[in-house]
Structure 1
Amino acid sequence: MSRLRAALDPKSVAIIGASDNPNKVGGRPVHFLGKFGFAGKIYPINPSRPEIQGHKSYASLQDLPEAPEMVIVAVAGDNAIAAVEDCAAFGVKIAVVMASGFGEVDAGEGKAKERRMVAAAHKAGMRIVGPNSQGLANFGTGAIASFSTMFMDMDRAAEDAKGHVAMLSQSGALSTVPVGFLRQKGIGVRHTHATGNDSDITVGELACAVAEDSEVKLMLLYLESIPDKRYLEELASIALDRDLPIIALKSGRTDAGKAAAQSHTGALANEDRVVDAFFEHHGIWRAPDMRGLVEATELYLKDWKPQGRRLVAISNSGAVCVLTADAATSVGMPMAKLAPQTDAKLKGILPSFATTTNPIDLTAALLSNSALFGDILPVIAEDPAADAFLIGVPVAGPGYDVEAFSRDAAAFGKQTGKPLVVAATQPSVAQAFAANGTSVFPTEVEAVTALHQFLAHRELMAKTRARRTALAPGEALIASPAAETTMLNEADSLGLLAARGIPVVPHRLCLSRNEAIAAFNIIGGPVVVKGCSADIAHKSELGLVRLGVNSADTTGDIFTEMEQIIAKNGSRFDGVIVASMAGGRREMMIGAHRDPVFGPVVVVGDGGKYVEIVKDTRLLLPPFTAQDVRDALQSLRIAPLFAGVRGEPPMDLDALVDAVVKVGALMRDPAARVASLDLNPVMLGSEGQGCVVVDAVVFHGV
């Protein structure tokens, strides 16, 4: 936090455009600084008032007795620009610019004005938050440099200002809307910051500083654009070191992926999928919507250290048991298989018509014997198969000892130390469980969804941390993007891959009819004959691919024919490739390109001519491990085929994994200068038979 300390914990704050009215933009920060116990100096600046909200007011920045560490610029338009320039000249460290009407509405003149402010600030060593910023709020220090209406009904003495959650956003509204949701759940926040247009200090850079606050146990991000990945990468590294979970909600789309449309890879790796891969690579959970951003928050604030995701469900409703099992299965949470001794003990406690296998249905017997709940929980707690628990109480009231249920559940949670959630629709029942510190959700689906997010995110963080440990420092090399690229012909593309140890189909480049005939005789038929030109990416459309050629003379004739086709097309003739007819069990694809923001991206998945229609692929951001590739392949829809079905032997996944790892290393090697590549098909054989690249298109940096 030291590099941006003045943004989060300033010793003095001035407000240019300060108002005596706390419902004005310039009045809110003055009000909030007092309300939330800011201990530093407050300097309202307004030439028309001697006093503002009980504080002495100053006519100008130059009239202050010292240069304040932070200045809130609450004046509009060109006045804001002049104010920023004055701040820079006066020795201010941080300017929070609330004025709007800049780059967010005018990409030309508006952005130019932003650049003017930033240039003036940097020349003097000052930093800017905004413009178009709702402001910053650190409830831990009382430094509330914001005009958010949300804070008007928050109480300094309440839990609102004592939380462990940090919310950072490029949007003003979305920096506080999640706070409202969390307050409804009784969860306080420590930080909520809105960086606006990110003209200087970006949400990522500010998040790096916030992540160093030891009181922050969960970070939430709302992002509308990611023009630069550097600070998000640094943030992820800090968070992993601190074991700090990050949940991000990324909205909108950018043009980042559109320039990659020159290949299949570009179509399969659009910008939003790359964002998914980036977050996954760095252990950041991507929320699908606002509910996903905040719904599981209280689970993250427990001290749980989960070891898996096998679920045990307990309910007094058979329907809830079934729905819980359905919900868990749909998100990949297996229902734990309880040990035989656990089942035997449960049978000795529950009536014969109850279900003792997981999920455990207590039935209506719970109404006549409220002790059942407390009797079975200690038994289940001892079972080693369970990683997490869900208790469903859809209906309870008179006749049920709900207070005892809630106490027993809380004791059970402490005994196991494992994640526990409760699904209870009735407010009175939910309140009883919540009062004892148990996490409660209205339905079993919501409970399972939140529990899955928490457990899967923790697994993702552990996997990311393990990858970081496993990868050697040398594997962090990365090439700079090339200003211009050129396509290699297929022979050169295959040669580049072969030099990297990536298996390619046996082939020969022939520059004459006689060489083509000789190649057939050496390779042996049948063969594939393909025209070779660095000007032609898609050869089939021009009749430049012939399969199953069975004679040397025919091979020679095809050479002559293809030479003529390439000449008529006005393309460069680089020869004709004669290659073996490669066999295999499945056509796969490996692709890669350089995203302008996120760098190298590797695509792997089902291949062949329908690759862009089927779209059964996964994205990986190098550097990655062999296990990362294996996990990606096992997540494909075709994954069950890899193990072999209906008596077939398994496929050689090890060979495919190795090829993908080598492509990842190739894309990070500065000396290779590979801008993009398409390897499709890559023929995958049975176990022990390997894989082989049959067709390759490589774009090379000039």
Structure 2
Amino acid sequence: MTSSLQAALDPRSIAVIGASENPDKIGGRPLLYLSQFGFRGEVWPVNPRRDEVQGRRTVPRLSALSRAPELAIIAVPGEAAVAALDECAEIGVKVAIMMASGFGETADPAARAAERAMVARARARGLRMIGPNSQGLANFGTGAVASFSSMFLEVEPRDGPVGIVSQSGAMSVVPYGLLRGRGIGVRHTHATGNDADVTVCELAAAVAADPGLKLLLLYLESIPDPHHLAEAAAIARARGLPIVALKSGRTAAGQAAAQSHTGALANEDRLVDAFLEQHGIWRARDTTDLVAAAELYLKGWRPAGRRMVAISNSGATCVMAADAASQAGLDLAPLEEGTQARLRAILPSFAATRNPVDITAALMTNSALFSQILPVIAEDPSADAFLVGVPVAGRAYAVDDFGRDTAAFAQATGKPVVIVAPQELVAAPFRSRGLPVFSGEGEAVRALAQFIAHHERMAAAGERTPHPAPSSPSASPAPRLLDEAESLALLARAGIPVVRHRLCRTADEAVAAAAGIGGPVAVKGCSAGVAHKSELGLVHLGVDGEAAVRAAFEACRAGLAGAGHPFAGAIVAAMARGRRELMLGAHRDPFFGPVVVVGDGGKYVEAMPDVAVLLPPFSEAQVRRALDGLRLAPLIAGVRGEPPLAIEPYLAAAVAVGRLMVERPAIASLDVNPMMIGTAPGECLALDAVVFEEGSAP
């Protein structure tokens, strides 16, 4: 962590510019919190009109201090805030939190320009800035609560193992409130606002280094600097710290709202998914989802697989748990026969013992059944995680014993356990012993599935070295289009199978090429000025015989001349056989770097896209998993008696495209469509390719 961000999270001295006597004003709230929550460093209120504020002596301006504070809170508006930031830079403040609004989050070009200018002046003098439009930072581990949020008055803080870093002020404290309502302590809750200088990603990297954290939650409206988020993820993985991120702006409407909120740049949503998965970060769907599995993360469990055992005194709970597990991708594997025999010796003859295990209503007359079956199930090797459901219980049930026995069971197995108990009197004995309690089967299973899948994702991310994202987006000059012959040659050199073909400059060459290939051929006009040839009548398929080849060649020449494009020749290619046209695409994103697209191909790919996004480097197994999530997947596997497609060469080709994009940064984009796939390995061929390359002379 840089010393400046250390000063943001754990400052030794803080100045409040615009300090107010009124603790309900923006300039008064941080002073109240610094006193109330035990900040042990020096605090200097700055107010030219008062000698004392909230019992502390003031100074009229920062320059009146004998030394520069490490952190300054700027709680004045407009031009006064800009002047205060300049003064902070002048006297050597390390970090300033600017709470003023009306800058880059607005649509006013002048306000945005003012934001850029003041950041440039600050950075030139070594000052880092949080904001503008920031609610502030709060570290309850040190008492450095430099925030004006009212949430900390409504919900009592407690230091704990969770950190929250957010671009939004509200979303820095809403998860805090939800977690505190469940008894979970929160150490960090920070809001970066406009991210004009210090971004949510850079601050996340600093917070991830805190050894006291067991869970880091992020709220993102954009990913302004993926390289810092990648750094945060690497720091977190190295110490087993899970990161769960809620990235809003999934839709065009949400992206437009983000623009007006924090001035965020909208990142293409599929790229966000791919980037977060690549770096082992779990993406939450909404605020509830962001905190849903918190208790599981904090237990320190390390799941070993996806097999779940459900245990309940209710048949309905067993059925609903089985449904939820199937939908969430968890496996209800049968318990071993020896385990089932031991359970049958304990439970009534009508009880289910295979999995789920239904204790039945017999639990009402014999509460000891719970303590008797749990040790038996604990020894079964077929289970990686457990759901215990007690939907209804009351006076006749020893619910405190249930909580005690389940806690001992969880301790003995060291495996994740979730509890379903909608009644508070039943939930309390489990919750008091630190077990994750949920009100419904679906909620519990989804949290468990997330927890397991997230650890799989973190492990997979740790096994590869991602290609570094650009440190900042940059505009490149317009790239030039390679003609099809150049594009196919480039792919062939990269190890991608391409159709047998020849570039012909004359009609005689075309006739000779067709004769050499044999049988009907494809004849296509070739020009560096044309990306899509069909629209200009430049593609002739099934051409057979000398006269037909000559006619197709001359038609290509005339078509390009009529459209005003240079004629590089005509490609004569074999007619490839196969059963499905797929596509491979790639481009260089200004934020995320190389991006590869895999999926269904053909001429309707833009109208009916069925594709997935990958960020290199990736493996063939990852390409297969991406294809498995597409509508195309059943067709690859084979339907109505058809044999499966021989997809392995396509997987290797996708990996080769990713490697090419990493190793050859001049390639701006490429499009391989169609790539014909058949049922035999040799029936995987790139039939057409479009490559744009930067820095090449026309």
Give the TM-score range, shorter chain: over 0.9
| 1:536, distance to aligned residue in structure 2 (A) | 2.0
Helix, strand or coil for the counterpart of 2:249?
A: coil
| 1:163, distance to aligned residue in structure 2 (A) | 0.9
- Which position in structure 2 is the counterpart of 1:197? 194
Where do residues 55-66 of structure 1 align in structure 2 (5 Å cutoff)?
55-66=56-67
Question: Do 2:227 and 2:471's aligned partners in 1 also have CA atoms closer than 8 Å?
Answer: no
- Which position in structure 1 is the counterpart of 2:168? 171
- Which position in structure 2 is the counterpart of 1:30? 31
Aligned equivalents of 2:267, 2:167: Cα separation in 1: 23
Structure 1 residues 380-423: Cα deviation after superposition (integer angstroms, max 9, x where no partner): 11111111111111111122221111111111111111010011
Select which of 295, 302, 306 maps to 2:303: 306
- Which position in structure 2 is the counterpart of 1:629? 623
- Which position in structure 1 is the counterpart of 2:690? 697
Question: Do 2:650 and 2:684's aligned partners in 1 also have CA atoms closer than 8 Å?
Answer: yes
Where do residues 346-357 of structure 1 align in structure 2 (5 Å cutoff)?
346-357=343-354
Question: Do 1:475 and 1:665's aligned partners in 2 also have CA atoms closer than 8 Å?
Answer: no
Aligned equivalents of 1:617, 1:386: Cα separation in 2: 35
Aligned equivalents of 1:559, 1:119: Cα separation in 2: 59
Question: Do 1:131 and 1:199's aligned partners in 2 also have CA atoms closer than 8 Å?
Answer: yes
| 1:463, distance to aligned residue in structure 2 (A) | 0.6
Question: Do 2:155 and 2:180's aligned partners in 1 also have CA atoms closer than 8 Å?
Answer: no
Question: Do 2:340 and 2:354's aligned partners in 1 also have CA atoms closer than 8 Å?
Answer: yes
Where do residues 244-643 of structure 1 align in structure 2 (5 Å cutoff)?
244-252=241-249, 271-468=268-465, 482-643=476-637
In the alignment, residue 539 of structure 1 is paired with which amino acid? K
Gap regions ≥5 residues in structure 2:
256-265
Q: Taking structure 1 as reference, are residues 359 and 7 closer, same or farther at Cα in structure 2, changes over 3 Å only?
A: same
In the alignment, residue 302 of structure 1 is paired with which amino acid? K
Question: Do 1:225 and 1:250's aligned partners in 2 also have CA atoms closer than 8 Å?
Answer: yes
Aligned equivalents of 2:469, 2:87: Cα separation in 1: 47
In the alignment, residue 593 of structure 2 is paired with which amino acid? G
| 1:688, distance to aligned residue in structure 2 (A) | 3.6
| 1:647, distance to aligned residue in structure 2 (A) | 5.7
Question: Do 1:166 and 1:219's aligned partners in 2 also have CA atoms closer than 8 Å?
Answer: yes
Structure 1 residues 223-254: Cα deviation after superposition (integer angstroms, max 9, x where no partner): 11223212111111111112111111111269
In the alignment, residue 398 of structure 1 is paired with which amino acid? R
Aligned equivalents of 1:565, 1:476: Cα separation in 2: 41
- Which position in structure 2 is the counterpart of 1:680? 673
Question: Do 2:102 and 2:133's aligned partners in 1 also have CA atoms closer than 8 Å?
Answer: yes
| 1:595, distance to aligned residue in structure 2 (A) | 1.3
| 1:476, distance to aligned residue in structure 2 (A) | 12
Per the normalisation by structure 2, the TM-score is 0.94
Helix, strand or coil for the counterpart of 1:389?
A: strand
- Which position in structure 2 is the counterpart of 1:657? 651
Aligned equivalents of 2:199, 2:352: Cα separation in 1: 55
| 1:197, distance to aligned residue in structure 2 (A) | 0.8
Structure 1 residues 262-314: Cα deviation after superposition (integer angstroms, max 9, x where no partner): xxxxxxx9811111111111111111111111111111111101111111111
Aligned equivalents of 2:293, 2:587: Cα separation in 1: 35
Helix, strand or coil for the counterpart of 1:207?
A: helix
Where do residues 57-136 of structure 1 align in structure 2 (5 Å cutoff)?
57-136=58-137
Q: Taking structure 1 as reference, are residues 241 and 432 closer, same or farther at Cα in structure 2, changes over 3 Å only?
A: same
In the alignment, residue 143 of structure 1 is paired with which amino acid? A
- Which position in structure 2 is the counterpart of 1:226? 223
- Which position in structure 2 is the counterpart of 1:266? none
In the alignment, residue 682 of structure 2 is paired with which amino acid? Q
Moved more, 650-659 or 242-251: 650-659
Question: Do 1:225 and 1:254's aligned partners in 2 also have CA atoms closer than 8 Å?
Answer: no
Moved more, 87-96 or 649-658: 649-658
Helix, strand or coil for the counterpart of 1:71?
A: strand
Q: Does 1:40 align with 2:80?
A: no
Helix, strand or coil for the counterpart of 1:161?
A: coil
Per the normalisation by structure 1, the TM-score is 0.93
Q: Taking structure 1 as reference, are residues 119 and 299 closer, same or farther at Cα in structure 2, changes over 3 Å only?
A: same
Aligned equivalents of 1:595, 1:25: Cα separation in 2: 40
In the alignment, residue 695 of structure 1 is paired with which amino acid? D
- Which position in structure 1 is the counterpart of 2:54? 53
Q: Over aligned residues, Cα RMSD in angstroms?
A: 2.3
In the alignment, residue 480 of structure 2 is paired with which amino acid? T
Question: Do 2:226 and 2:469's aligned partners in 1 also have CA atoms closer than 8 Å?
Answer: no
Question: Do 2:199 and 2:225's aligned partners in 1 also have CA atoms closer than 8 Å?
Answer: no
| 1:442, distance to aligned residue in structure 2 (A) | 0.7
Structure 1 residues 65-115: Cα deviation after superposition (integer angstroms, max 9, x where no partner): 321111111111100111111111111111111111111114411122212
- Which position in structure 2 is the counterpart of 1:139? 140
Gap regions ≥5 residues in structure 1:
259-268
Moved more, 90-99 or 539-548: 539-548
Aligned equivalents of 1:283, 1:607: Cα separation in 2: 29
Q: Taking structure 1 as reference, are residues 412 and 367 closer, same or farther at Cα in structure 2, changes over 3 Å only?
A: same
| 1:615, distance to aligned residue in structure 2 (A) | 3.0
Question: Do 1:247 and 1:287's aligned partners in 2 also have CA atoms closer than 8 Å?
Answer: yes
Moved more, 675-684 or 623-632: 623-632
| 1:479, distance to aligned residue in structure 2 (A) | 13
| 1:140, distance to aligned residue in structure 2 (A) | 0.7
Question: Do 1:225 and 1:253's aligned partners in 2 also have CA atoms closer than 8 Å?
Answer: no
- Which position in structure 2 is the counterpart of 1:265? none
Helix, strand or coil for the counterpart of 2:329?
A: coil
Aligned equivalents of 2:383, 2:565: Cα separation in 1: 65
